[in-house]
Amino acid sequence: MEEKVSVVIFEGGSAHTALEEDVTAVRKAVVLDNIEKITGTPEIDEVILCTNYPDLADAARGLGAAVDFSDGPFHFGRRLLQTIQARGLTNVFYMGGPAAPLIRQKDLAWVAARLREEKNIVVLNNVQSPDMVGFTPASALGGVPLPANDNELGYVLREAAGLRRLLIPNSAWINFDLDTPTDLALLSMQATVGRRTAEALKRFAFDLDKLVKLRELFEVIGAEVALIGRVGPPVWAFLNMNFMCRFRVFSEERGMKALGRQERGEVVSLVGHLIDREGPREFFRYLGSFCQAVVFDSRVLFAHWKKDVSDWDRFQSDLGRYDLVKDPQVREFTQAAVEASVPVILGGHALVSGGLWILAENVLATEGRQARRIMRF
């Protein structure tokens, strides 16, 4: 009998402010749109949602998903292993709730085919910090140190379980996920979002001016754009292959979560050192003297500062609402970014990976150009 391929989605948490509730509403909508997409993919046999949201659980059941509901203490690895063992799963494709809101059925089918046709493999969408991980046999998770978060899952399955690594064919659609308001703003600019997601995004009145200016710069020969943070080779290579502007890339601390560097307080940033030395206002003044836009993954900077920045401050910083940021150091940095002479777009890892890629794909589609593709790194 052919083994089943099971998609397991984790989505949960708790919202403490109105802003967090709005972000959570979009995440829930993405989960439901993806469940509908998954159940319509013939190569996948079942989808299981693990959540602590009663409303999301009910809606998912209505779409044909199985639900593991729990509102007790949570540990990522233990919960995933419990689900695998309780349901006797053999081929698992794990997805974080906000992962890949634009994923295509052909991407899902490709992963399902690999899990059926090959054994002792782990399939990732990102080498350093994946939020989509397919693996077989699923029982391999029982023989490794259980990861505290999904970013560590691919690493432990490869290093501790010895599974052979495969990478999902690279594209904007499998690299883009949701974490911050900036990611939601980028998603609102896409024509292919699911209907529930499109409705949930109406909660936000996004100021898209900086993103529009960045998109326009992609079409300007010789324009200078700074990319700062956990910028990976695939997105940088894609931009260089398809556009004639100049990208100044300051890539630091890729995998800082998956490798435990952030948790252990080991993150070190050269950009952070410059900001500490010169101050954020002078840093952006100098950067703006030779760049026309800046795309900044600020989470590396916050980790360099050894700060556990709250969701409230992270989100308000991304939105440029520095007056609402409570941490003085984060507030000063955010104000300097807002008042810089060039557009400074703040966000997290998704901004400098799938977010940039999605924006670039938009430009190519508008121009009617076929994108030049790259192999995986």
Domain definitions of the chain by residue range? 5-175, 208-367
Residue 233: the pLDDT is 86
* C-alpha to C-alpha distance for 107 and 44, rounded to whole angstroms: 11
Q: Which CATH class is domain 5-175?
A: alpha beta
Contact 95, 7 (CB under 8 A): yes
At residue 370, what is the residue type? Q
| Ramachandran sector of residue 368 (left: φ over 0; alpha: ψ -120 to 50; beta: rest) | left
Residue 367: the pLDDT is 80
Residue 376: the pLDDT is 45
Q: What is the fold, at CATH topology level, of the domain defined by 208-367?
A: Rossmann fold (3.40.50)
Is the CA virtual torsion 297, 303, 304, 309 positive or negative? positive
Residue 172: the pLDDT is 86
311 contact partners, CB below 8 Å, separation of at least 6: 16, 17, 20
How far, CA to CA in Å, does 226 sit from each of 251, 275, 319, 344, 359? 10, 15, 19, 9, 15
Contact 159, 102 (CB under 8 A): no
Q: pLDDT tens, 185-222?
A: 999 999 889 999 999 999 888 899 999 999 999 999 99
CB neighbourhood size of 375 (10 A): 9
Contact 98, 27 (CB under 8 A): yes
191 contact partners, CB below 8 Å, separation of at least 6: none
How far, CA to CA in Å, does 17 sit from each of 55, 181, 376? 18, 14, 40
User: Beta partners for 68?
Assistant: 50
Residue 259: the pLDDT is 85
Contact 176, 100 (CB under 8 A): yes
179 contact partners, CB below 8 Å, separation of at least 6: 98, 347, 348, 349, 350
205 contact partners, CB below 8 Å, separation of at least 6: none
Residue 339: the pLDDT is 98
At residue 372, what is the residue type? R
Residue 169: the pLDDT is 87
User: Beta partners for 347?
Assistant: 297
* C-alpha to C-alpha distance for 39 and 327, rounded to whole angstroms: 44
* C-alpha to C-alpha distance for 233 and 264, rounded to whole angstroms: 26
**Which residue's entry shows tokens 């053999």?**
90
**Which residue's entry shows tokens 């992962």?**
99
Q: pLDDT tens, 59-93?
A: 999 999 999 999 989 999 999 999 999 999 999 99
Contact 351, 183 (CB under 8 A): yes
Which residue positions in the chain have pLDDT lower than 50? 1, 376-377
